[in-house]
Amino acid sequence: MEFEREQDAVSRRIQAMRQRVSEAKEANLYYFNQPVSELRGGARVIVRGREMGMFASYSYLGLIGHPRINSAAKAAVDRYGTGTHGVRSLAGTLAIHTELEETIADFKKAEASVTFTSGYVTNLTVVSTLVGREDYVISDKLNHASIVDGCVMSGAKFLRFRHNDMDALEIRLKQIPDGAAKLVIADAVFSMDGDIIDLPKMVELCRKYNAWLMIDEAHSVGVLGDTGRGIEEHFDMIGSVDIKMGTLSKTIPSVGGYVAGKRDLVEYLRHAGRAYIFSAALPPAQAAAANEAFKVILDEPWRMEKLRINANQFIQGLKNRGFDTMLTETAIVPVLCGDDEVAYQMTQYSQQRDVFVLPVISPAVPVGLARLRATVTAAHESHEIETAMNIIEQAGKAVGVIQG
Ligand SMILES: Cc1ncc(COP(=O)(O)O)c(C=O)c1O
């Protein structure tokens, strides 16, 4: 028999969300959670029965569906089955996990690496394992939610600094009492804006104030650096980041997260990180797919070059059409819309014409800075980018984001 609950804060929260979602659905402006039913080549998908150009993917090098990666995943299923025997510390470690961790360490030019089952969980567990109540954690204001959640979970004193502003970071570092442990964290490439952290200055400050430096490379592996190794390679500063965190769900077409760094650090995380000890290991197919993907990146350097050309075409083309693409320098291209409603309308117009872009609205971004968050990948052809930009231009004119 169902229980009639009295209204409380929890039920009010649920109802408020239900109302927000149903209003968007009624206005035909709800674009979240749409299932992709099929992949059609590297940059096209079937959604709601229509073939669309995918301009919202994190698969920056177009590796989803790569034959070598698919074969590696299938071979791992034949060899190991689909699951593991538990958590990594007990019976869950497979030979493919060890192989993947060696591959990542080589790729990141680090002594060692450790993997976890998602990027989100990696940030939670790593931050909260490294720092605690007596310590300080300092985070860029635009860092990803998983970093913020890790900082809160750690119980450390949580300070934030103005986005990519190294003077503001130094002010924070100066506020911390001598002798206290401090961890500075930033995204390498910011997930909503596409700009790049000022690593050289950040490293200088961390050394000056004896702080640990952790960089989240979710959107920089396969995107930055001549061979796709990420932010250290981009700035020619290999070995300068203490805690090189990354995901296996974006350029690497799998799921999971990792930290690469010094052997002692990695061993510490392996024995103290709660997500490693208390959560089941990565499934073998996903570990094998990730392992092969790092090798494909190095074997197919043309993908990096094509991504750079495509990102340049997309950013310049949208700017020339009058859009504000904010500070992006990478494959993540925000198209500023302003109000949430306008971002929804831009999405609707574009998707109705088979360009799959998505809105980013508050609270993911500040009120008034809603945007389309378009991405470009190495799988796009120049003419596909041109077509997509023409449709986004028509959308912009139709809803008044740019002059008609
Ligand atoms: C910067 C950043 N860090 C971490 C994550 C979480 O990674 P995952 O989706 O692999 O759990 C994301 C995901 O969007 C991200 O953008």
Structure tokens given for 304: 């990096």
Strand 136-140 relative to strand 157-161, pairing: parallel
Cβ atoms of 116 and 276 within 8 Å: the answer is yes
Q: What is the pLDDT of residues 222-241, one digit of tens each?
A: 999 999 999 999 999 999 99
The pair of structure tokens assigned to 350 is 């574009």
**Under a CB-based contact definition with an 8 Å cutoff, are residues 268 and 77 in contact?**
no
Whose Cα sits closest to atom 9 in ligand 1?
119
- Gap between the Cα atoms of 214 and 199, Å rounded: 11
Q: Is 248 exposed, middle or buried (0-12, 13-18, 19+ CB in 10 A)?
A: buried
List ligand 1's pocket residues with C-beta within 6 A. Answer: 118-120, 123, 144, 146, 187, 191, 216, 218-219, 247, 249, 257
Token representation of residue 7: 């209204």
Q: Which atom of ligand 1 is nearest to the CA of 189?
A: 1
Query: Of 118, 146, 154, 191, which one is the catalytic site residue?
Result: 191
What distance, in Å, lies between the first and last C-alpha atoms of the chain?
Answer: 59
- Centre of ligand 1 from the C-alpha of residue 87, in Å: 22
C-alpha distances in angstroms, 231 versus 3, 104, 187, 225, 392?
Answer: 54, 15, 10, 7, 30
Give the DSSP letter of residue 31: -
Average pLDDT, the chain: 96
pLDDT in tens, 258-310: 999 999 999 999 999 999 999 999 999 999 999 999 999 999 999 999 999 99
Best probe residue, ligand 1, of 247, 254, 330, 365 (max atoms within 8 Å of C-beta)? 247
What is d(CA 139, CA 213) in angstroms, rounded to the nearest whole number? 10
DSSP structural state of residue 155: T
Tell me if 127 sits within 8 A of 153, measured CB to CB.
Answer: yes
Task: Using alpha carbons, select from 241, 247, 179, 245 the residue that is nearest to residue 207.
Answer: 241
CB atoms within 10 A of CB 19: 10
Residue 250 contacts residue 58 (beta carbons within 8 Å):
yes
Can you give the pLDDT at residue 250? Answer: 98
Q: What one-character-per-residue DSSP string does 289-312 give?
A: HHHHHHHHHHH-THHHHHHHHHHH
**Ligand 1 nearest-atom number relative to CA 187:** 1
Closest ligand 1 atom to residue 247 Cα is: 10
Pocket perturbation via mutation, ligand 1, pick of 148, 249, 373 by most ligand atoms within 8 A of CB: 249
Q: Report the alpha-carbon distance of residue 392 to residue 356 in Å, rounded.
A: 10
Q: What is the mean pLDDT of residues 4-17?
A: 94
pLDDT band of 29, cuts 50, 70, 90: confident
| Tens of pLDDT, residues 336-392 | 999 999 999 999 999 999 999 999 998 889 999 999 999 999 999 999 999 999 999
Shortest-distance Cα residue to atom 7 of ligand 1: 119
DSSP count for the chain of H helices, then E strands: 14, 14
- Identify whether 219 is a catalytic site residue: yes
Query: Both tokens of residue 36?
Result: 């992709």
Q: How far is residue 363 CA from its own chain's centroid?
A: 17
Give residue for tokens 């060696």.
102
Ligand 1 centre distance from Cα of residue 247 (Å) = 6
**Residue 198 has which token pair?**
């000022």
To test the ligand 1 pocket, which listed residue (191, 192, 223) has its Cβ within 8 A of the most ligand atoms? Answer: 191
Residues 6+ apart with CB under 8 A from 317: 385, 386, 389
Ligand 1: residue whose CA is nearest its atom 10: 119
pLDDT at 41: 84
Residues 201 and 170: their CA atoms lie apart, in Å, by 10
| Structure token pair of residue 89 | 């510390």
Centre of ligand 1 from the C-alpha of residue 321, in Å: 31
Pairing, β 157-161 against β 112-116: unpaired
The pLDDT, as a whole number, for residue 80 is 98
Q: Whole-model pTM?
A: 0.96
Residue 379 CA, ligand 1 centroid: distance in Å: 21
Query: Using an 8 Å Cβ cutoff, are 217 and 94 in contact?
Result: no
> How far apart are the CA of 120 and the centre of ligand 1, in A?
6
Of 66, 144, 182, 219, the catalytic one is 219
Please write the tens of the pLDDT for every residue from 107-134.
Answer: 999 999 999 999 999 999 999 999 999 9
- pLDDT category, 42, cuts 50, 70, 90? confident
Q: Which atom of ligand 1 is nearest to the CA of 248?
A: 10
pLDDT at residue 388, rounded to an integer = 98
Is the pLDDT assigned to residue 330 strictly greater than 90?
yes
For 53, the enclosing helix (H) or strand (E) is strand 50-54
Among 120, 196, 245, say which to mutate for ligand 1: greatest number of ligand atoms within 8 Å of CB.
Answer: 120
pLDDT of residue 404: 78
The model's pLDDT over 85-101, given as tens digits with 9 standing for 90+, comes to 999 999 999 999 999 99
Centre of ligand 1 from the C-alpha of residue 32, in Å: 17
CA separation for the pair 165, 349 (Å, rounded):
36
161-188: average pLDDT? 97
> 218 CA to middle of ligand 1, Å?
6
List the one residue out of 61, 402, 375, 46 whose CA is nearest residue 191.
375
**CA-to-CA distance for 226 and 233, rounded, in angstroms?**
7
The string of DSSP codes covering 78-140 is: HHH-SS-SSBIIIII--HHHHHHHHHHHHHTT-SEEEEES-HHHHHHHHHHHH--TTSEEEEE
- Asked if the model's pLDDT at residue 12 lies above 90, the reply is yes
Q: Which atom of ligand 1 is nearest to the CA of 257?
A: 10
